[in-house]
Amino acid sequence: MGLFKNYISQTRKPEGVLGKMMIKGMNSGHAKMADWGMSHLQVTAPKEILDILNALEVSADMVLCDVLKTGYNVKSSVFSEKISALPKNEQERIYDVVDTLIRHAQ
């Protein structure tokens, strides 16, 4: 594979020196675009955000669970509620799968 083609292929799964170069270039380009986009947005007041969350009937934890450090606690409690609503045999099946994933992750 030629150098240019190898460099371009780094957009999919960056690896090695060329991958680092691609990531730096993408970060630089995307940062400029993000800054431009953010300059066109108005800041939303906290009260407006709460109004939207209430209208959607969701908590701030649920909306922010991917960015909060405690987000996994929120996700696990949501999963726990969903699992507890299932029939016992389905609960056991899900817990077996989760247990297997945990054992292989260690």
DSSP secondary structure letters along 77-97 = HHHHHHHHTS-HHHHHHHHHH
pLDDT beyond 90 at 89: yes
pLDDT of residue 79: 86
Positive or negative torsion for Cα 24, 25, 26, 31: positive
Quote the pTM value. 0.37
The predicted-structure confidence for 35-84, as pLDDT tens digits, reads as follows 888 888 888 888 888 898 899 888 877 777 666 666 566 678 778 889 99
Cβ atoms of 47 and 60 within 8 Å: the answer is: no
pLDDT beyond 80 at 104: yes
Domain residue limits, the chain: 3-39, 59-105
Tell me the C-alpha distance between 60 and 54, whole Å: 9
